Structure 1
Amino acid sequence: MPNAMNLSLLDAIESAFQLLSAEPDPLAFDGTELGHGLPTRPIAVNEIRELLLSRSEPALRDTVWAEVIRLVRQGADREQWMLAAAGLMVPGLRSVVGSGTALAREDAAAEAVTEFLSRVSRMDPATERMFPRLLGAARRGALRAQRKSGEAGQMPITRSGDPVGVSSHRPSHPDLALDGLLRNGVISKEERDLIGRTRLENESLIEAARRLGISYHACSRRRSRAERRIAQHFAALGFHSESDMRNRAVWRSPAPGASPVPNEPVAA
């Protein structure tokens, strides 16, 4: 088995799902309650997933997901059934994550899983067409992460490849740009560390959230607030063309008449 520290989020969910399904005491549905020609015996959650993948029957799918939602909300093993719900949806979650860098895919997976589980926890077991609604929630989460990733990727750079905010006539590195923003009070030390680790050192937002002891959403909001202030800072300095970016120093105060960018609270 791969080292758990090296697993992606969806791989980790899949591993946990298989453990839930393991003999001699797998987490199982009561086949006598499900109908649709299923075996009238306990049916392990991984077996149900295989049946759903092999039988394209919307009525069966709705019945299974209605039972999942009921067990999540009312069952004795609610946490296990929440994990089982994520495991049952892993094939769908993989389909919505899309392409891109490993870091972008991991952020998209985290948003997709978060949105999916949030919907699971709120959904009424009597809801019709449950599976497409749950998958749609996951897709919206993934798209939100992909938009954020795309916005970050559009941070302007000079023709020489220097990040905006570092003069092209001196040695430059994104770390120096962040240091300059920190010195000018645009971002806090904690925000500088968060952006540096997740944008420059390939730490995922999931890992950052664990390290900071906060939720994924709180971590994502914290970084988004900081990056929004950075964009506002550049706009206040009047960077509208590439020549502006190359030739003007950005570590001074905003131009006369421009509003300084407030340093928002760091707390999530």
Structure 2
Amino acid sequence: MPISAIAAADRAFALLVRGPDPLQLDGRDVPGLPRRRLTLDTVRDLLVGGVDTGVSDAVWRILSAHARADGPAWVVGAVGVAVPGLTLIASRLAHGFAKQADDIGSEVVAGFLQALRGDDLKGPRVWLRLCWTAWRTGHAARRTETTLELPHDLPVGSRTPRFPYGHPDLVLARAVTAGVITAEQAELIGATRLGGTLVDHLAAELDVSAPVIRMRRRRAEQTLAAAIHRGDLAVRANRARPR
């Protein structure tokens, strides 16, 4: 029986951090890490245990640079370091979609790799932005249900979809485009409500208290809810002009 993409990545990662020449980072290159050579599984343990945002950002920029320049082993190494977070994202997205769990996991990994290899990682909160891309691609796989058997009593014909027409990530993107909320507020809602990021972890990364994060999220959600209630985010259908 084939194993999931995330499990396969974790197995490959385990091989890379064993033996006489395991993949390593030099902790002296990142203030805040132990000042010695660190195997990537040690780096993963340190990140999971909690580090300052600046430390996390520096580590992920280094891993990304290696993945882009130094071959497949470093790609596997970077994904392996991310496995705990990717596992959480995939498990949250697969809840209620058990038949699509493998596809969701594969797309979560694919989205993460896309961001790792191609995104501009110069800004802050690198890990959250990598996870946000992974969540979006995984969520898209959850919406694709063409392989599932349709029920016999499925209604036919067209009907008007519910406002504001779209899945949560699209609603957030539309709200940002409309100027209802900021991109930062959308990322906060998406990461904590949809992406599996814990408020306490985010608060630690931003060096603020958890109540402050919850207050910011509540204000953003109230603004978003009011816009949805007013119909500000509804997609208007293009009416065909009479010929």
Q: Give 1:60's aligned residue.
A: 55
- The answer as to 2:63 corresponding to 1:73 is no
C-alpha displacement of 1:114? 1.0
- Superposition RMSD in Å: 2.2
Q: Distance in 2 between matches of 1:73 and 1:127?
A: 18
Q: How many residues align?
A: 152
Structure 1 residues 27-36 or 117-126, which shifts more?
117-126
Q: Distance in 2 between matches of 1:33 and 1:56?
A: 15
Q: Distance in 2 between matches of 1:28 and 1:17?
A: 12
Q: Which amino acid aligns with 1:95?
A: L
Q: Distance in 2 between matches of 1:71 and 1:136?
A: 21
Point out where structure 1 has 5 or more consecutive residues left out of the alignment: 165-268
- The answer as to 2:39 corresponding to 1:39 is no
Q: Is the 8 A contact 1:62 1:131 kept in 2?
A: yes
- The answer as to 2:23 corresponding to 1:27 is yes
Matches within 5 A, 1:110-189: 110-149=106-145, 153=148, 155-158=150-153
Aligned-partner SS, 1:10: helix
Aligned-partner SS, 1:23: coil
Q: Distance in 2 between matches of 1:152 and 1:20?
A: 36
Q: Is the 8 A contact 2:57 2:124 kept in 1?
A: yes
- The answer as to 2:89 corresponding to 1:93 is no
Q: Distance in 1 between matches of 2:45 and 2:34?
A: 14
Percent of aligned positions that are identical: 32
- The answer as to 2:102 corresponding to 1:106 is yes
Q: Is the 8 A contact 1:70 1:125 kept in 2?
A: no
Could you list the structure 1 runs, at least 4 aligned residues long, displaced by more than 3 angstroms after superposition: 100-103, 151-154
Q: Distance in 1 between matches of 2:147 and 2:8?
A: 27
Q: Which amino acid aligns with 1:113?
A: V
Q: Distance in 2 between matches of 1:16 and 1:73?
A: 18
Structure 1 residues 125-134 or 46-55, which shifts more?
125-134
Q: Is the 8 A contact 1:119 1:134 kept in 2?
A: yes
Aligned-partner SS, 1:89: helix
Q: Give 2:75's aligned residue.
A: 82
Q: Deviations over 1:13-49 (max 9, x none)?
A: 111111111132110001111121x222210011000
Q: Distance in 1 between matches of 2:80 and 2:103?
A: 18
Q: Distance in 2 between matches of 1:158 and 1:72?
A: 49
Q: Distance in 2 between matches of 1:101 and 1:126?
A: 35
C-alpha displacement of 1:94? 1.3
Aligned-partner SS, 1:39: coil
TM-score calculated relative to the size of structure 1: 0.52
Q: Is the 8 A contact 2:27 2:37 kept in 1?
A: yes
Q: Is the 8 A contact 1:67 1:125 kept in 2?
A: no
TM-score calculated relative to the size of structure 2: 0.57
Higher relative CO (CA 8 A, sep ≥ 6), structure 1 or 2?
Answer: 2
Larger Rg: 1
